Amino acid sequence: MLTEFALYSDRLFMAAVGVYVLAMILHGLEFARERSENALLVGAGGPPTPEPPAPAPLPPARPATAPRVRADRFGRMAVALIVLGVGLHIVSIVLRGVSAERWPLGNMYEFTSMICLTAVVTWLVVLRRSPAMRPVGLFVLLPVVILLFLGGTVLYAQAAPVVPALRSYWLVVHVTTISLSSGLLLVPGTASLLFLLRRSGRFASLAQRLPGADVLDRLAYRTTIIAFPLYTFGVITGAIWAEAAWGRFWGWDPKETVAFVAWVIYAAYLHARATAGWRTGSAAWINVAGFSMIIFNLFFINMVIAGLHSYAGLG
């Protein structure tokens, strides 16, 4: 029975990835339709002339509104698929825990899955509060799909009990907190990247369809101020667990060091966001650097550098 649960978990994981990919494609179609509408509206006026001509009649309504109607339909379908994918994803994680008879965060595959689930749920909450942010969905789902693909291939591990050192209630507290905060931080990291793109003036045809720079900046800031205390709690509980397991709170293990560096960067971002002259482009770059450090810690430190955390494959 447990083997069947593990099989169903893997299949539901793959189904969730497929649904996310389809939702990302629909978001891409929504984005393209909106861009084609903008181009149509811009082209309807014709080139400027030295003398203003007589007022011309408005262009027919159907060519201008049809792309928007189709784009809205694609966007609604994408959101519905994301909700379906979240349902499949949750059941996959639950069955993984049942099949392994433990908390389902014992290796890199499971940790990556939880990060992505948290990011997608966070995005649905953002859409619930700000439906106008929907065009950003394409860019939120892209890193989620990439991480899930890596999790299901390179990082995949069979459902099995964890090593004795991880059989502790701190696995539930520390690893769950870190995974939730990391998933939350994926959204502001994406928002800050789009903010920088919006302000740079490059790729104008792409950037003009994005929400305003101030909207993206607020999204990044408000999500980070929720994720940062959670990440701080995760770092603290990690130190407590280290004292219980290894007899010291801090030993400058590569995993611990990079996690602390990421914490410092996010603290600097929140400080910069409240400082005049830093609260726009400079703060956004710091936020992107913080999320880059989270990804670096998740993959490079776990897979390349040997340390006390290497045997666990934990994030």
Residues 116 and 32: their CA atoms lie apart, in Å, by 25
Question: Of 122, 96, 91, which is closest to residue 15 (Cα–Cα)?
Answer: 91
Greatest alpha-carbon pair distance for the chain in Å reads 84
Q: Which residues contact 283 (CB under 8 A, 6 or more apart)?
A: 269, 272, 273
CB 272 within 8 A of CB 220: no
Predicted pLDDT of residue 176: 93
CB 220 within 8 A of CB 192: yes
Domain assignment of residue 37, yes or no = no
Which domain range does residue 265 map to? 162-315
Percent of the chain with pLDDT over 70: 81
Domain assignment of residue 296, yes or no = yes
What tens digit of pLDDT does each residue of 248-305 get? 777 777 888 889 999 999 999 999 988 866 767 789 999 999 999 998 888 777 666 6
Domain assignment of residue 1, yes or no = no
Confidence band for 39, pLDDT divided at 50, 70 and 90? very low
CB 212 within 8 A of CB 198: yes
**Residue 142 parent element (H or E):** helix 137-152
Residue 240 has pLDDT above 70, yes or no: yes
Confidence band for 61, pLDDT divided at 50, 70 and 90? very low
- In whole angstroms, what separates CA 16 from the centre of its chain? 15
What is the average pLDDT value for the chain, to the nearest integer?
Answer: 83
Domain assignment of residue 122, yes or no = no
Domain assignment of residue 157, yes or no = no
Total number of domains in the chain: 1
Domain assignment of residue 92, yes or no = no
What tens digit of pLDDT does each residue of 128-145 get? 998 888 888 999 999 999
CA-CA-CA-CA torsion sign (186, 192, 198, 200): negative
Domain assignment of residue 78, yes or no = no
**Reported pTM:** 0.84
Confidence band for 43, pLDDT divided at 50, 70 and 90? very low
Predicted pLDDT of residue 245: 72
Confidence band for 66, pLDDT divided at 50, 70 and 90? low
> Quick check: helix, strand or coil at residue 156?
coil
Domain assignment of residue 15, yes or no = no
